[in-house]
Structure 1
Amino acid sequence: MQVRRFEDSDRAELRLLFERAGQGSPTEALWGHADSEAAVYLDPYMELEPESLFVAEEGGQLVGYLTGCVYTVAFPSEDTRIAEALRRYRPFRTRQAVVFFGRSTVDALGATIRRKATAGEFDNSRWPAHLHINVAPEARGTGAAAGLMNLWFDRLLTEQVPGCHLQTLVENVRAVRFFERMGFTAHGETPAVPGLRYRGARVHQLTMVRSL
């Protein structure tokens, strides 16, 4: 297993890995349109901060990746990225996208009426960096994820960043346990995520932080 920095020649293979790395997790598919989802959760990191993107490789094949941002406030927000991706790709021709965004609207409206918080981005100067990590099913438990995370921590230490955060789901038990082993702790509330369901039930956002 080799973990290393992203190279421009990895683009095509990384894009294919993006589509399958989350298999079996609660976020395996969001609205079911790979191009527009990649335009939110992968492409901006390749374009805007490739020095914070790391990959795991085994047998000449990419099996995992970590996308990061040293200072979240300097990166386009998730809402901005989603809006741009929807304008560009117009994925609403698929039933899954119609259901997801329709349910998102209903969930958000219901939360507003009940005065309940919903999932959102995290902004705290103690943990200004953020990351996303995905490993293909065949590479889970091999040390690939830990290797990627350690490269990310090294970058943050080099940049003298005080801490980082990530956002996962309470229901993604395997991921939560891994993040705890890597030194992250839960922080704040666990609001529902509009639109998203796992095994027919609502899911809840979990923010986790780690100081450096």
Structure 2
Amino acid sequence: MNIRHPAPQDLPGIYHVCLATGDAGADATTLHQNPDLLGHVYAGAYAVRHPEHGFVVADELGIAGYVLAVPDTRAFESWQEAEWYPPLRAQYPWTDADTPDGRLIRLLHAPERRAAGALDRWPAHLHIDLLPRLQGRGLGRELISRALDGLRAEGVRGLHLAVDSRNTGGQAFYPRVGLTRQPDETDPGVILFTVDLA
């Protein structure tokens, strides 16, 4: 088992893991005609912009999990607007299609934003996903610990992450690694977990 910072050659594997866990923790492969869209929205930009705050887990079958974090959500969103989204918006024009792919395309044009108050206290955020073959082995805890240690060493005061309300496994896991569930009024389908780092 190899845990390391993500490199450019890891992006296909990261996108695969994102898709294979993209239905509230379950495999979303059959839900999407375009297998890249979930990765474009939820994974690729993190690995490209802040590889120093991410870790991938690789085994003999390839990339099987990751944690991808950013230390400053507002700065990351500004970078996305300048660098990440423009070519994707050109490639995927706005659509009103009420399909899984259509909803992801709209997120490329109108990204989700966390409430300002939450970002003041918990400016960092992360995404973590593990394929089933790695689950239950303590790797999720290890990845979270490494990400939080790196953010703490950089002086980041706090971190948040948003969890799909259908993802009961995630909701059970995050309190066990020190995160606290918060009320989130911006989206009833999302549960906010946070941790103070300072």
Higher relative contact order (CA 8 A, sep 6+): 1
Deviation at 1:58, TM superposition (A): 2.7
Q: Is the contact made by 1:31 and 1:100 (CA closer than 8 Å) also made in structure 2? A: no
Aligned pairs for 1:93-172 within 5 A: 96-97=99-100, 100=103, 120-123=113-116, 124-172=119-167
Give the AA of the match of 1:177: A
Residue 70 (structure 2) aligns with: 69
- After superposition, the C-alpha distances for 1:133-187 in whole angstroms (9 at most, x for unaligned) are 1111221111121111111011012101111000002221110111111111111
Output the CA distance in 2 between the equivalents of 1:37 and 1:91.
16
For residues 11-90 of structure 1, what are the structure 2 equivalents within 5 Å? Answer: 11-22=11-22, 25=25, 28=28, 32-59=33-60, 61-76=62-77, 85-90=88-93
Structure 1's unaligned 5+ residue stretches are: 105-118, 194-203
1:205 aligns with 2:190: yes
8 Å Cα contact 1:33/1:97 also seen in 2: no
SS of residue paired to 1:76: helix
Provide the aligned C-alpha RMSD in A. 3.5
Partner of 1:200: none
Q: Residues 71-106 of structure 1, C-alpha deviation per residue, up to 9 Å, x if partnerless?
A: 1110126x95678634423485987347747xx9xx
> Offset at 1:7?
2.3
Contact 1:40-1:85 within 8 A present in 2 as well? no
Distance 1:93 1:207, change over 3 A: closer
Higher-Rg member (1/2): 1
Compare 46-55 and 16-25 and name the one that shifted more: 16-25
1:171-190 counterparts in 2 under 5 A?
171-189=166-184
Distance, in Å, in 2 between the alignment partners of 1:183 and 1:141 is 17
Q: Say which SS state the counterpart of residue 207 (structure 1) adopts.
A: strand
Q: Where in structure 1 do 4 or more consecutive aligned residues deviate above 4 Å?
A: 29-32, 79-84, 90-95, 97-101, 190-193
Q: Which runs of 5+ in 2 are unaligned?
A: none
Please give the TM-score of this superposition, normalised by the length of structure 1: 0.72
Paired position in structure 2 for 1:201: none
CA distance in 2, matches of 1:99, 1:43: 19
Q: Give distance in 2, aligned partners of 1:129 and 1:98.
A: 27
Structure 1 residues 9, 98: CA separation in 2 closer, same or farther (over 3 Å shift)?
Answer: closer
Q: More strand per residue: 1 or 2?
A: 1
Cα distance in 2, alignment partners of residues 76 and 150 from structure 1: 24
Structure 1 residues 90 and 138: alpha-carbon distance in aligned structure 2, compared to 1, 3 A threshold: farther
Distance in 1 between residues matched to 2:93 and 2:129, nearest whole Å: 25
Structure 2: distance between partners of 1:26 and 1:12:
19
User: Percent same amino acid among aligned pairs?
Assistant: 24
In 2: Cα distance, 1:53 partner to 1:46 partner: 7
